[in-house]
């Protein structure tokens, strides 16, 4: 999975998401150069709940289904 900047440059290339004793470990490369591993802890995942509203959930479902719900 790749995450892009608004200018369409690759910012982050996620190569794996795996279970880890402290949460989830996310592996990838930053800007196609620097390898990285990040741990997403459960408290941080819960803290992210307020960032995701119903509009974002609806848009994500539409993106997955390849339709326009907007």
Q: Which of 16, 11, 18, 17 is nearest to 33 (CA)?
A: 11
Give the number of other CB atoms < 10 A from CB of residue 2. 11
Inter-residue contact 37 to 16 (CB < 8 Å): no
**Residue 3 DSSP one-character state:** E
For the entire predicted model, the pTM comes to 0.74
Of the candidates 63, 18, 66, the one whose C-alpha atom is nearest the C-alpha of residue 38 is 18
pLDDT tens track, the chain, 70 positions: 999 999 999 999 999 999 999 999 999 999 989 999 999 999 998 998 888 889 988 998 999 998 766 5
Cβ atoms of 15 and 26 within 8 Å: the answer is no
Q: What is the tens place of the pLDDT at every residue in 14-23?
A: 999 999 999 9
């Amino acid at each position: 999975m790749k995450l892009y900047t608004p200018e369409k440059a690759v910012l982050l290339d996620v190569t794996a998401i795996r279970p880890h004793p402290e949460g989830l470990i996310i592996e990838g490369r930053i800007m196609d150069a620097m390898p990285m591993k990040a741990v997403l802890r459960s408290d941080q995942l819960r803290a992210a709940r307020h960032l995701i509203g119903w509009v974002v959930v609806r848009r994500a479902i539409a993106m997955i289904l390849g339709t326009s719900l907007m």
